[in-house]
Amino acid sequence: MGQVNGVEDSDAYTVVIFRGATAKPLRFSFHRKLVTKLLIAVAIFVLVDALVISHYVVRTGEVWELSAFRDEAMSAREQTAAFSGAVDDLKKRLTSMKEVNQRLRVMLGIDPTKTGDIANGRGGIDGPIPEGNQLLPPEKAIKSDDGAQHLSSVETDQAAPAGQVSLSETSKGNEQDMIASIKQNIDWLSREATIQEQSLEELSLAAENRSSRWAATPSIWPVKGWVTSGFGPRVSPFTEKPAWHDGLDIGAAANAPIQAPAQGRVTAVGFDPKMGNVVKIDHGFGIETLYGHLAKSLVKEGQRVKRGEVVALVGSTGLATGPHLHYMVKVNGQALDPLKYILE
């Protein structure tokens, strides 16, 4: 094995390599300035390399952190969207419950009937339009108890309370807008839930005290079909002039069964030139229902009937354009919109 020794003079470094006892040694001389420059270059290279590696490690850590943050942000956004949808669903359900509560309050006599629901009808015959009422827009679709789509000139949709923000629009904004919208909706839900809870307690007490009135309230569809003409102002199908319609026309197949919407006593069974075959039922508490254009009545005057009992068959007798039921609800002699009473 050879040995390496460094020999230093004033200007250079000499390296001698001994290759054995008999072999001539090898000598290498390096200028001191050259060696110094080489050492400095190596040091700079090592330092730069260390900086590059350090920067790479730091950047890699930042990328990992950003990736984790992005995953957390995506998860939070998905959870926010899901929560937003849940709040939207709760709001729709609460609005629906509020509408049912309002109907129940009117039916149980807790709230008075609005004057806009009252009309001086004339037994299904087109009458003059009461002052202040306008013709409704083209007939719109509603549903009866069979789930089919029906036509009606009565607007049943309820406007959203003032100040609410549509949750369907918040998804288009940024996350801050979505969170603010959700907070607004939660505040509204909290207020409305308190109001509806109080209303339900009041309804519960009223229902217990007025169970007999509930049994006498016409709360179901008298026949399965579709609404062809709603309650209120309309264009008469006979004169083609503005007129007032004091009932609900429900189209159905000829001889379809008509059921009593509540318990009561049959007070009239007869024939009218314009209404055709008619049946009238007194439910008590000032509530009466009338059924016109019947093909045939299946009850007798004075007979007591139960809710859901078949009382007649659909026809087109009298002044009619086709098979349908003219259904009227009167309270204390005043014709009201039957849709205000139908719950199922």
**DSSP class per residue in 145-162:** TT--EEEESS----PPPT
Residue 142 pLDDT > 70, yes or no? Answer: no
Question: Does domain 79-340 bear CATH number 2.70.70.10?
Answer: yes
Domain boundaries, the chain: 3-70, 79-340
For the stretch 300-333, pLDDT in tens is 999 999 999 999 999 999 888 889 999 999 999 9
pLDDT tens, residue by residue, 214-268? 788 898 999 999 998 888 888 877 777 888 888 999 999 999 999 999 999 999 9
The reported pTM is 0.44
CB 338 within 8 A of CB 248: yes
Model confidence at 133, pLDDT cuts 50, 70, 90, reads low
Contact 318, 285 (CB under 8 A): no
Q: What is the dihedral of CA 266, 272, 275, 279, to 10 degrees?
A: 10
Amino acid, single-letter form, for residue 108: L
332 CB burial (10 A radius; 0-12, 13-18, 19+): exposed
Q: Identify which of 134, 324, 158 has the alpha carbon closest to the alpha carbon of residue 229.
A: 324
Q: What is the pLDDT of residues 279-289, one digit of tens each?
A: 999 998 899 99
The residue whose two tokens read 């001698």 is: 16
Alpha helices in the chain (DSSP H): 32-107, 167-170, 175-209, 211-215
